Amino acid sequence: MPNKKTPLDRFSDLTWNDIEAWVGGKIVSRGKNYQQQGRVSDLAVTDDGSLIAWVDGSERYATRVVIDEDGLPDSICTCPYERDCKHGVAVVIEYLKRVEDNRSVPKAKQDDDRLKLLADEDRDAEPNDAENGMSEDLRQDIDAFLKGKTKAQLIDLIHDLAGQYPEMARELGDRKQVISGNTEPLVKRLRQEIHDLGEEPGWRNHWNNEGYTPNYSKIRQKLETLLKAGHTDEVLTLGLELVETGTRQVEESDDEGETEMEIAACMPVVVEALERSPLEAADKLAWALDVLLEDQYELCEAFGEYLHRGHPPTAWHTLADRLLTRLHGLKRTKGADDFSRNYERDRLSDWAIHALDQAGRKKEIIPLCIAEAQKTVSYERLVKRLVEARRYDDAEKWIKEGTRHLGPKWPGITAGLRGSLLEIRTLQQNWPVVAALQVEEFVRHPSLQAFRECKIGSDKARIWPQVRESLLRYLEKGELPWTQKGWPLPESGLARPDTDQRIRFPLVGNLIDIAILEKKPDQVLKWYDQRPKGHFRWLGADEDTIATAVQGHAPDRAVAIWKNKAERLIAQVKPSAYQEAVKFLRKAGDVMSKQNKQAQWDQYLRSLRDAHARKRRLIEILDGLEGKPIINKKLRI
């Protein structure tokens, strides 16, 4: 019986393929750079066979790596990523390098500081930690400590802490002023802090994990202090200034929305101030809506949530009248951008419709939608309301009017209107017209999904075989289905599309997709062989999908496609392309093995190695493909 492998043996058995399966090629590359730069220090082996080390990044991190049950590494680190990071990769490579060089790796002491740091990192936070900033046990300890103090002792303790922590002293001063009613100093300082904090845009560089995100938590705390003391007007005023400053800052920021989230986190306090304010209910709704309509970056979603809470119908009634008056007073601006103008007006009318709905004035909604559709081409909204009211004839009338009026200028809206007619005909179970509409969409935008949808409607109309043949003939020769002899479907009621003169038939990519769907590998190869030479972007299915589809029918062709794809990637001479190439080589090798052609495959890999011997990274990846360990030595204990 062979001896069972130790964890250290399993580290030594690792291939580059294993490492990349663990964390991916990009992280492996960064980890290798860290190891080569000498950032790993104090490497040691623990009693259970794991590796621990310090790794220098933007800070000094403690990192531990173990081998899991699948034979792959698993790491934990005190860096922001916490698990399976470049620091873990650097530790593994450092260990393997030392083994290869016959350098010893010491045992870690049981009281090693890094073990404690990593244990703290791995321990789940208690539920109250995130919400309260302290655990329940700690809170109880503090309560017991404070309850044992006299008033004088508590005052001395507060003075002592305020002396040590200036922020606490300032907070106490703010609370004293607020309670006394003198909010002017706090409001003035808070206004300045909002201005100062909004001066620098947020940014983030994920390559080196650096960046800046403005911290609005103190602004939020001060707003809460004002709110708790009942100063709602001040909070609302500062909230408007925060939105104005924050909008400008978000416009200039490039940090994937982190600045936006910081500002948005302050808005629930402003919403609560609005809720508590002495304003009339309708005025509160109008205040929230004005803020929401001015918001361009989703800073004020909290106000949208507020507007969807339960409010008195009388308040909505008043707001609806105000919004209708505003709509009536909007003037067309010559030279203004149609899309922007229509978008703003539609947002306002959307809320007018919502207000009418909440006020119980439902009879006014469709007439408003009709009037607005003729001003802002908002036909989709009108048709949706008509369909919901089951006024199908009226809906069809406006669908036809909308598609006629808009034509090709607004393709998205006209597509939505055609979709509404399809919905109506489906509700009516008029399957021949449903199928006709689906075929027209297929001609406009041929795709595998459109082909599937045509099958659904045509199956229900029991004419799929004829429709299928006509669709394939269109893809091959460009003959519109309804012009072909024996076309079985009626007219849809909408203008049929013409053939796009820019399209070159046959549409090989679509034909390949359909052949794959229908599991016809001979057709897949037929159309694949007719592809435009030297061009690959035209394909609906990628070459990997094509090779997979034909591997059982024509294994040699599948292998040739995979090899060709891999060789083109290798020619790019970059590690990420090598890693992509090995995926296709692995598939080709599996097929060759099943064909009992392992010797030929081994010869092919040797030829690749010879041709690219100077590409060290590629050779490492090929080692992983063949299951060769990164090193050929074991650590001697």
Q: What does 412-431 look like in DSSP terms, one character per residue?
A: HHHHHHHHHHHHHHHHTT-H
The residues, ordered by sequence, that sit 6+ positions from 60 with a Cβ below 8 Å of its Cβ are 54
Handedness of CA 399, 433, 460, 454 (dihedral sign): negative
pLDDT at 340: 66
Closest listed residue to residue 42, CA positions, set 139, 113, 100, 124: 113
pLDDT at 62: 94
Contact 311, 285 (CB under 8 A): yes
Token pair for 531: 């592809």
Sort 268 into a burial class: Cβ within 10 Å, 0-12 / 13-18 / 19+. Answer: middle
The residues, ordered by sequence, that sit 6+ positions from 333 with a Cβ below 8 Å of its Cβ are 341
Bond before 506 cis per omega within 30 degrees? yes
β-strand 51-56 against 40-45: which pairing, if any?
antiparallel
Alpha-carbon separation of residue 71 from 4, 12, 159, 304, 361 (angstroms)? 13, 11, 58, 50, 67
- Spatial separation of the C-alpha atoms in residues 150 and 144, rounded to whole Å: 13
Contact 458, 467 (CB under 8 A): yes
C-alpha 34, offset from chain centre: 29
- Spatial separation of the C-alpha atoms in residues 132 and 587, rounded to whole Å: 53
DSSP letter at 310 equals -
Buried-exposed string 270-289: b where 16+ CB fall within 10 A, e elsewhere: bbbbbeeeebeebbbbbbbb
pLDDT at 175: 65
pLDDT at 509: 92
pLDDT at 206: 66
pLDDT at 232: 94
- Spatial separation of the C-alpha atoms in residues 276 and 268, rounded to whole Å: 12
DSSP letter at 494 equals S
Which phi and psi (to 5°) does residue 506 adopt? -75, 155
pLDDT at 174: 66
Token pair for 504: 């070159």
Which phi and psi (to 5°) does residue 271 adopt? -60, -40
pLDDT at 185: 81
Contact 513, 542 (CB under 8 A): no
Closest listed residue to residue 275, CA positions, set 285, 262, 265, 266: 285
* Amino acid at the residue 573: V
Contact 183, 234 (CB under 8 A): yes
Which phi and psi (to 5°) does residue 74 adopt? -145, 125
DSSP letter at 481 equals G
pLDDT at 2: 47
- Spatial separation of the C-alpha atoms in residues 27 and 57, rounded to whole Å: 14
Token pair for 363: 């009879």
The residues, ordered by sequence, that sit 6+ positions from 349 with a Cβ below 8 Å of its Cβ are 323, 327, 368, 372, 376, 378
Rg (the chain; Cα; Å): 34
- Spatial separation of the C-alpha atoms in residues 130 and 121, rounded to whole Å: 15
Closest listed residue to residue 28, CA positions, set 631, 571, 576: 576
* Amino acid at the residue 319: L
> Can you tell me which residue has the tokens 């360990």?
629
* Amino acid at the residue 150: T
pLDDT at 318: 97
What count of other Cβ atoms lies within 10 Å of the Cβ of residue 254?
11
Is the pTM of the predicted complex or chain greater than 0.75?
A: no
Which contiguous run of DSSP H or E holds residue 51? strand 51-56
* Amino acid at the residue 136: E
Which phi and psi (to 5°) does residue 66 adopt? -125, 170
DSSP letter at 408 equals G
β-pair partners for 61: 55
Q: Which residues of the chain have pLDDT under 50?
A: 1-2, 124-134, 333-337, 536-537, 635-637
Residue range 411-437, pLDDT digits in tens = 999 999 999 999 999 999 999 999 999
Token pair for 399: 């669908």
Token pair for 544: 């990997």
- Spatial separation of the C-alpha atoms in residues 445 and 419, rounded to whole Å: 14
